Amino acid sequence: MCEICVGRCYEDRIASCRLRIRLMNFIHQRVNWKQEADASPTPEHRVRISSSALRRSRGAESEDKVLLVATVINSTYFKMSPRSRGRLITLDRPKQRPVLGGLVLAVRAGNHPVQNLSQAIRLTFKHNKQVEDGACVFWQESPLEDGTGYWSTDGCETSDTGNEFVCSCSHLSFFAVLVNPVLSVEESDAVNLSYITYIGSVLSIFFSVISLIVYICLQRRRPEKAISVHLHLTGALLCLHISFLLCCFWVWWLNGKEEDWVCRGLGLFLHWSLLATFSWTALEGFHLYLLLVQVFNIYVRRYLLKLSVVGWGLPTLIAVVCGISGVYGKYKPESRDANNRNSTAEICWMSSHRLSVSYVTTVAFPGLVILCNSCMLGLVVFKLWGLRAGSRGAGGDSKKMNREKWMKLWRDCATVLGLSFVLGLPWLLASTTYVSLAGIYVFTVLNSLQGVFMFLWSVALSCKSRSDNNSSSRDPSTQKVMTTSFNN
């Protein structure tokens, strides 16, 4: 049997299709049209048909029973028609996405079409939570009669109970659920990512300690508020990576035992460190705003004390409230690999049933911080571009001018790149983890090495401190943007 005839064959010769195509768990039975009928071709697929739908499929016949057929068909038998073919474009036609499980639930009752039901047909599709969302659809044949068609949402409503999609449709047809699958990670990739994370965190701890020493030396040599802000941010990063390794080590050491108060305490420490890191990242952006926008009259009494109250006090308050509420514990991710095995290690974090708190404090808040800091980095680029444009009219030796132009360009690129890490913009790559495996690797590498990048920034500031006298006279524009000190 050809694949493009499956729809018409199933509709027109429903009793004989079973003989011409390999169908799994083909249900073929007569049911009483006065009662509801249930059919479950597979453990993952179930359909419930109301008595009114069975009565309409029966038509004017006098028989007490109607024929009910239900089965699942491989989705490869349904050939999609081109979307750009004039009249075939419909508003209810969803974006082409993979079919859940690659299976289509086919349901037919009686000998008459069943449409526009007042009491909807209820179809259930179980899933393993490896999908972001789903849309209930039915197969709409092409009017060109070329064996093609498309998936339509017309007459179907979708609800997700957490482990199954429930479809309520007003007709009988071929049904499926189009989904956005969660990117699966193979076991080997999960192991590689774990090693990258652990090694990167160890390197970040080592270089964060060195960065703290460098900032302390710079603070003694040249007291500046910007250096103090960098110092606090580096300290928060150090706590973040230490707490992360401790949480992972403690769960590994427990080896599946029941969680205890130590794991809850480590989860609180990790949450507090993450909030502190993003708080000081936001304060870095705020400090840069005062420098570039509020250039004059920006003296703030006890400025560093006020920043510290926000940078350390706000995370402490949130963590204490969450701790009293009992949200911390062993976190068990739902992510699984192709063999349906857990592809990520457990960690002391927030309990799996309290993830709404995690979403607000570790997704919404960081997202707002990164958005504001992205605007600040754009302002830095705009300032640099404006300052460079104002200095293009100067005359002189062309070779010397070209050499200085390239030097300034490299210096500006280094400034923007360094500020992007200070402002936490690599966290933007979290969105790529839902797209490709390469995005997961890039995000893991960059964010596990945050301490290393802060060390490079501290070295750049140290070198700048030594060459301020020379660079300020030759390149005042870069000096204006790179400096982050207040003039009291």
> CA 399 to CA 390: how far, in whole Å?
20
Q: Which helix or strand (DSSP H or E) is residue 11 part of? A: helix 6-12
Predicted TM-score (pTM) of the model is: 0.61
Residues 25 and 153 in one domain: yes
Question: Can you list the positions of beta strands (E) in 50-120?
Answer: 65-74, 79-80, 103-109
Residues 198 and 154 in one domain: no
Residue 147 lies in a domain: yes
Would you say 426 and 420 are in contact if contact means Cβ atoms under 8 Å apart?
yes
Confidence of residue 460 (pLDDT cuts 50, 70, 90): confident
Would you say 135 and 177 are in contact if contact means Cβ atoms under 8 Å apart?
yes
> CA 331 to CA 350: how far, in whole Å?
6
Would you say 292 and 226 are in contact if contact means Cβ atoms under 8 Å apart?
no
CATH of the domain at 159: 2.60.220.50
> CA 308 to CA 311: how far, in whole Å?
5
Question: Can you list the positions of beta strands (E) in 101-170?
Answer: 103-109, 121-126, 131-141, 148-152, 156-160, 164-169
**What amino acid occupies position 200?**
G
Full residue range of the structural domain in which residue 244 is found: 187-482
Q: Where are the alpha helices (DSSP H) in 184-260?
A: 187-221, 225-254
Residue 125 lies in a domain: yes
Helix 398-422 vs helix 261-292: crossing angle, to nearest 10: 150
Residues 412 and 361 in one domain: yes
Name the nearest CA neighbour of 163 among 109, 189, 136, 125.
125
Residues 329 and 442 in one domain: yes
Q: How many residues does the chain have?
A: 488
Residues 352 and 452 in one domain: yes
28 is written with which tokens? 């073929």
- Write down the residue that tokens 């694949």 correspond to: 3
Residue 488 lies in a domain: no
Residue 106 lies in a domain: yes
Would you say 325 and 268 are in contact if contact means Cβ atoms under 8 Å apart?
no
User: For 155, which DSSP code?
Assistant: T
The least confident of 7-16, 37-46, 316-325, 353-362 is 7-16
Could you tell me what percent of the chain has a pLDDT over 70? Answer: 71
Residues 381/387/391/397 CA torsion (nearest 10 deg): -40
> CA 433 to CA 443: how far, in whole Å?
7
Of 139, 166, 181, the residue that ends a domain is: 181
Name the nearest CA neighbour of 75 among 176, 208, 171.
176
Number of domains in the chain: 2
Q: Where are the alpha helices (DSSP H) in 255-336?
A: 261-292, 303-308, 314-325
User: In what order do the strands lie in the sheet containing 45-49?
Assistant: 37-42, 45-49, 121-126, 164-169, 156-160
**What Å distances lie between residue 296 and 287, 327, 382, CA to CA?**
13, 45, 19
Residues 452 and 370 in one domain: yes
CATH of the domain at 259: 1.20.1070.10
SS3 92: coil
> CA 181 to CA 178: how far, in whole Å?
9
The predicted structure's pLDDT at residue 486: 34
SS3 183: coil
Of 142, 164, 181, the residue that ends a domain is: 181
Residues 120 and 209 in one domain: no
The predicted structure's pLDDT at residue 339: 43
The predicted structure's pLDDT at residue 484: 40
> CA 226 to CA 219: how far, in whole Å?
9
Would you say 236 and 282 are in contact if contact means Cβ atoms under 8 Å apart?
no
Of 118, 146, 181, the residue that ends a domain is: 181
User: For 300, which DSSP code?
Assistant: -
Residues 238 and 366 in one domain: yes
**What amino acid occupies position 319?**
A
Residue 487 lies in a domain: no
Residue 461 lies in a domain: yes
User: For 294, which DSSP code?
Assistant: S
Residues 219 and 155 in one domain: no
Would you say 185 and 343 are in contact if contact means Cβ atoms under 8 Å apart?
yes
What pLDDT, in 10s, does the model give residues 51-83?
888 887 776 666 678 888 888 888 877 777 764
What's the rounded mean pLDDT across residues 218-234?
Answer: 89
Confidence of residue 93 (pLDDT cuts 50, 70, 90): very low
User: For 426, which DSSP code?
Assistant: G
Name the nearest CA neighbour of 419 among 308, 219, 285, 292.
285
What pLDDT, in 10s, does the model give residues 383-439?
878 776 666 554 555 666 677 777 777 777 777 888 888 898 888 888 777 667 788
Residue 58 lies in a domain: yes
Confidence of residue 485 (pLDDT cuts 50, 70, 90): very low
Name the nearest CA neighbour of 45 among 131, 135, 166, 156.
166
Residue 50 lies in a domain: yes
The least confident of 89-98, 288-297, 343-352 is 89-98
What pLDDT, in 10s, does the model give residues 104-117?
888 888 777 777 77
> CA 299 to CA 302: how far, in whole Å?
9
**What Å distances lie between residue 55 and 37, 46, 162, 469, CA to CA?**
11, 20, 33, 92
The least confident of 6-15, 228-237, 246-255, 372-381 is 6-15
**What Å distances lie between residue 120 and 51, 100, 113, 155, 407, CA to CA?**
11, 21, 14, 9, 70
Residues 478 and 434 in one domain: yes
Residues 137 and 198 in one domain: no
What pLDDT, in 10s, does the model give residues 168-188?
888 776 656 765 555 555 667
Residues 379/381/387/393 CA torsion (nearest 10 deg): -140
Tell me the longest C-alpha to C-alpha distance in the chain: 103
Residues 388 and 443 in one domain: yes
